[in-house]
Chain A
Amino acid sequence: MRDLVEYIARALVDDPSQVEVRQERLGGNRVRVELHVSKQDMGRVIGKNGRVANAMRVLLRVAAAREGKQATLDVVDPR
């Protein structure tokens, strides 16, 4: 799951060195995936009306389902 989000994010941003993906287990079969990118690259991974992030969520859902899990994706705003 983590590597799917990481692959997509690295391919879309200007600064791949700033891409970091963390995966956290919540209760049961739920998993939270956190994507960090540089401030300048936020728009690239979110997209207009969140379209890129939502497409990533849809693909992440498939990857998670293959492992019997449910995953959420958060794009974390850098301060």
Chain B
Amino acid sequence: MKQERTTLEVIAPTVEEAIARGLNQLGLSQDQVEVEVLDPGSRGFLGIGSRHARVKLSVKAAGEPPVEVASTMPETGALPQVEEEGVAESGMPLGQWDEQKAVEVARRVVGELLDRMKVHARLRVRIQPPQEENAQSVVWVEIQGDDLSILIGRRSETLNALQYISSLIVSREMGVWVPLIIDVQGYRARRERQLRILARRMADQAVLTGRRQVLEPMPANERRIIHLELRDHPEVITESIGEEPNRKVTIVPKRPARRL
């Protein structure tokens, strides 16, 4: 029997966004479609001469029916909304901790986990002082080595799982909640820069078109970067919709489209 293939072409500022929008329209996840990049687009220079990306999504053989699009109930809660990770669930008390001891414990725990995952890498562990007012110091574990993309995973799933399990074990050993960030070859810093640029660009798009922009699903720490980047934006508000792991940030213009 010949399957008729449903295809959809999407145009958006970047390939990533085009895919995300297409999937959103189809109500499918990325592994249910084949993606063909028709035009990767071009960022141009300072927004001048930029060209949008164009992708074609083909729905794979109709083994499974399309999944319903996740609930779009807006999250209740005050704005600006900053999502917190881990603390509440760990059951560990908040408080002061010994930085030197935390560095040692984190190095040992992450090392033990990687050994058992058969991943060979070097670790650099340091304390990152508070970045914002009222923030805490963070134990920062940098994993270095070759071919570590296996430690990042799709939508940084593996990296976040490693970070979550490591945080739980380290905090339990320290008897207090210790915020811990794990990075692989500078991935988080690179991703943060990309997300800030994406946030700005999608906010411009929201203001220009007067329509809400829905970003691709992201883990909580990435959604937080978007919320923070646009917290003081005069013309848009941000909110997260949908259920994990398909929770997405939407950027909503405060006013209708500008008339040109």
Residues in A lying within 8 Å of B, measured CB to CB: 3-4, 7-8, 11-12, 47-49, 51-52, 54-56, 58-59, 61-63, 65-67
A-B contact pairs, 6 of them (CB 8 A): A4-B113, A4-B116, A8-B113, A52-B165, A55-B165, A62-B150
**Cβ of A51 and Cβ of B169 under 8 Å apart?**
no
B118 — which chain A residues lie within 8 A by C-beta? 63, 66-67
Considering only CB atoms, which chain A residue lies closest to B150 in the complex?
A: A62
A62 — which chain B residues lie within 8 A by C-beta? 117, 119, 150-151, 153, 158
A52 — which chain B residues lie within 8 A by C-beta? 164-165, 168
Using known A-B contacts A12-B172, A47-B89, A62-B158, determine if residue A56 contacts B116 with beta carbons closer than 8 Å. Answer: no
**Cβ of A66 and Cβ of B113 under 8 Å apart?**
no
Residues in B lying within 8 Å of A, measured CB to CB: 89, 109, 112-113, 116-119, 150-151, 153, 157-158, 160-162, 164-165, 168-169, 172-173, 244
**Cβ of A11 and Cβ of B169 under 8 Å apart?**
yes
Instruction: For residue B226, give the distance in angstroms from its CB to the closest CB of chain A.
Output: 22
**Count the A-B residue pairs with Cβ separation under 8 angstroms: how many?**
58
**Cβ of A7 and Cβ of B112 under 8 Å apart?**
yes
Considering only CB atoms, which chain A residue lies closest to B118 in the complex?
A: A66
> 9 closest A-B pairs (Cβ-Cβ)?
A58-B161, A4-B116, A55-B161, A66-B118, A11-B169, A63-B117, A55-B164, A48-B89, A62-B117
Bound CA span A58–B109, Å: 17
Using known A-B contacts A55-B164, A59-B113, A66-B119, determine if residue A8 contacts B169 with beta carbons closer than 8 Å. Answer: yes
B158 — which chain A residues lie within 8 A by C-beta? 58-59, 61-62
